[in-house]
Structure 1
């Protein structure tokens, strides 16, 4: 959930969010009793009229008697997959997912021989899942004693976020079968912030830096800067960014990462353009300006002093690459060659910030997370709501078991290394090849309107 709460877009560009109403006197909306559902819905409508990207598509006469969540849904554009609303005094209204509650994700695949298997693709560090013994590449055979099939996978997954503990039957994948089966109990809990993982690969005197970035929280510029100091000192000549599971986060942190890669940019080089509704207008931001919106960030000049000065970069992506990580891909393109490897990204070409009642005392406890801006790069390129397509399409599940992230033989990473070192891609010839994804446990999370 955190990734969707972290857009740090320029708040002073829009009128403050402590307003009471933006309604005209002749709109004919009754003065509902303070504290009533209808009163809260009017506040939601007023807020959305001011900030929502598709405000001009909102219904003129919505039903104020609906529950707040249903009323909010009734205002949304059919094009909107991402706006959501929560009650800050009711934790049950927040988006839930297996990843943010337990710290792992899995995919259900149909193999080339017709078999259906469930593979753990991600386990967060210092998470309940890791503490329970789950690892990337393990196979899940049962959830709470029920054998997973293509027909019941979504039902089983949707039930997990409503529990605080569940049991998995897992095993290892060997010779096209699950071995070493065991039962593991996973408890609901907190996953600590994920560290940035880096490695350096060398072949024939050419050094390649690898950087796995799980998300873009505010306050990560020190970490990024240190990684690039190490890359530069080692003489890294090529760079691979692994953003395959990165849902996004702070645009400022994304800008900081971008400032550390190409040559030929300055503090005043344009990084991003935000385009909002008639109230938000169009706003352009340089690298330095966008980075500075994180009050704890290192400044552009400090960061860029450690830039690798590259003219190309390789970026690993999946259908879960979203938001600020897509901004990295799109907004680097005016300044260097971007070679994307993997799958089409999610398609979150937009940004926003939380809107809440700032009156004292607060009269409405709901908090809105609407789409407020569409985002574009320095060349005015954006509009990737259907995702950004890679130049090199690679199925992460082409060979099982999945290897650890950062392993040079792991499918996506090896594809990038093969490209850099001019090798042909070589994969195991097994029935696992071209495993079709039937279901992924993180899909309900990325579409937070559910």
Structure 2
């Protein structure tokens, strides 16, 4: 996952660039050389990297920058990465950010292997080509998708700029109405929030699907919760199943709109770093304020639902700030998680780059800098956060649109809302997940 969490930091970044290395064991290289860039990378990582004490004492400065960076990383680190802003090919690639969709290869109980489109971003190349959630992909560039070739095929797709998909609909246990779709590499627009209000027996349940947590989203959240509050919503379902994360400030803003009993002084998050970073504690109000575009805590609380519990829908793609929502609400509200285990990105970082003018180093580091914990000190969910109600969204095909009350995860949550049971057993999973295009392999 490429999104890092936006967090506070008090040291001016230019200080990082100005600092010099006084370690006599580090060789001196000509400015602009690969070796000099590698020394800058090493200095930066020593200062900020969470696992700085595990870095090799004598790395090979002759390595290409990307390989040198990788040689510094802890075996526990799945998420740190480096890019060259002068070289577009150095940026991480994914099916989602190139074409605007994601898919999962599943195996049903009868042995059938099926490739299911699970996410299509609005106004993306895939969306504009007619791809829809729930469609079945039978061929990619003329090749059938199998359990054996799924990963290799996904890798090859990232090297292309045009995809030819053969897709169909799932009807009565098989694929029907096959057709060809051509998707061109391109840009996906910012994703809107999706909200619904379900009403049964006079009880209203709000549903909110959130794709990610960019800075500057507090006004949109404020408006959505004003609609919920005005409609008399008594229960809330947050759908974070494909949410990679983003800004901790936006996550804090969302959290401030849900439970009862919190104030601006209520603790929200603890950041724990290396010996240089130490421990940083932030209240709801403090964390929200780190987004310069954010509405303040007091303004947001005017539309708070003041609930005693919240239902959160998750998958293996729920990560980072989305996981903070789950973990950091727990000290204040009953969290009923439905779906699958989350990714396990219990950490935060910020971008480290050369801020000099003119800039002399074009590389940009995205390191893990902090582990994150909730107000009660609970964290360390690197293996993911497990749901109380485990259910696979692929247990019943076709996949229904997000927001549809009959969709598997949503209907499970609604069953619990209206049957007044947070412990209703979910039906056993009928499928095995073989490959997911948006999960780190």
TM superposition score normalised by structure 2:
0.97
- The equivalences for 1:179-328 within 5 A come to 179-328=176-325
Match of 1:365 among 354, 358, 362: 362
- Asked whether the equivalents of residues 412 and 426 of structure 2 are also in contact (C-alpha less than 8 Å), the reply is no
- Asked whether the equivalents of residues 258 and 307 of structure 2 are also in contact (C-alpha less than 8 Å), the reply is yes
Partner of 2:438: 442
What is the Cα deviation at residue 24 of structure 1? Answer: 5.2
CA distance in 1, matches of 2:9, 2:73: 22
What is the Cα deviation at residue 26 of structure 1? Answer: 4.1
What is the Cα deviation at residue 35 of structure 1? Answer: 1.0
CA distance in 2, matches of 1:207, 1:54: 47
Partner of 2:68: 71
CA distance in 2, matches of 1:29, 1:55: 16
- Asked whether the equivalents of residues 22 and 50 of structure 1 are also in contact (C-alpha less than 8 Å), the reply is no
What is the Cα deviation at residue 43 of structure 1? Answer: 0.4
Q: Deviations over 1:334-369 (max 9, x none)?
A: 101000000000000000000001223222110000
Aligned pair 1:396/2:393, yes or no? yes
TM superposition score normalised by structure 1:
0.95
Partner of 1:4: 3
Q: Deviations over 1:80-105 (max 9, x none)?
A: 00000000000000000000011000
What is the Cα deviation at residue 21 of structure 1? Answer: 6.1
Q: Which deviates more, 242-251 or 415-424?
A: 415-424
Does the residue aligned with 2:39 lie in a helix, a strand or coil?
Answer: helix
Does the residue aligned with 1:162 lie in a helix, a strand or coil?
Answer: coil
Q: Deviations over 1:48-94 (max 9, x none)?
A: 00000000000000000001000000000000000000000000000
Partner of 1:116: 113
What is the Cα deviation at residue 384 of structure 1? Answer: 0.4
Aligned pair 1:164/2:125, yes or no? no
- Asked whether the equivalents of residues 17 and 355 of structure 1 are also in contact (C-alpha less than 8 Å), the reply is no
- Asked whether the equivalents of residues 390 and 426 of structure 2 are also in contact (C-alpha less than 8 Å), the reply is no
Q: CA RMSD in A?
A: 1.7
- What is the aligned length? 439
CA distance in 2, matches of 1:250, 1:342: 23
Partner of 2:94: 97
What is the Cα deviation at residue 27 of structure 1? Answer: 3.2
What is the Cα deviation at residue 427 of structure 1? Answer: 9.5
- Asked whether the equivalents of residues 83 and 369 of structure 1 are also in contact (C-alpha less than 8 Å), the reply is yes
Deviating beyond 6 angstroms after TM superposition, the runs of 4 or more aligned structure 1 residues are: 423-429
CA distance in 1, matches of 2:14, 2:320: 23
Does the residue aligned with 2:158 lie in a helix, a strand or coil?
Answer: helix
What is the Cα deviation at residue 20 of structure 1? Answer: 3.7
Match of 1:409 among 406, 417, 420: 406
What is the Cα deviation at residue 203 of structure 1? Answer: 1.0
- Quickly say closer, same or farther: Cα 1:55–1:323, change in 2 above 3 A: same
